[in-house]
């Protein structure tokens, strides 16, 4: 049995497409500013929210001189 003959239990591409379709349905009528807020909130409150908040705390303030 080769790698290509193995039965797939999980289709990564299909999973990605479904996730993208769900997100599209949620944001299709939003303005660009509302889309940004949607993704910002999703990042902060999603499964990686704690990591996102830690990154935000370490990042320099926007507009600050380098």
What is the spatial distance between Cα 36 and Cα 44, in angstroms, rounded to a whole number?
A: 12
Query: What pLDDT band is residue 31 in, cutting at 50, 70 and 90?
Result: very high
What is the pTM assigned to this prediction?
0.61
In a domain, 23, yes or no: yes
At residue 55, the pLDDT reads: 86
At residue 20, the pLDDT reads: 96
Q: How many domains does the chain have?
A: 1
Length of the chain: 66
Top-confidence residue, 7 or 48: 48
In a domain, 15, yes or no: yes
In a domain, 48, yes or no: yes
What is the spatial distance between Cα 63 and Cα 66, in angstroms, rounded to a whole number?
A: 9
Q: Are 27 and 35 in contact (CB under 8 A)?
A: yes
In a domain, 4, yes or no: no
Asked whether residue 18 carries a pLDDT value surpassing 70, the answer given is yes
């Amino acid at each position: 049995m080769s790698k290509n003959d193995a039965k797939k239990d999980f289709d990564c591409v299909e999973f990605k497409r479904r996730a993208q379709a769900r997100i599209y349905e949620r944001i299709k009528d939003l303005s660009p500013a509302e889309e940004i807020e949607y993704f910002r909130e999703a990042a902060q409150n999603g499964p990686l929210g704690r990591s996102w908040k830690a990154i935000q705390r370490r990042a320099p303030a926007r507009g600050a001189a380098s």
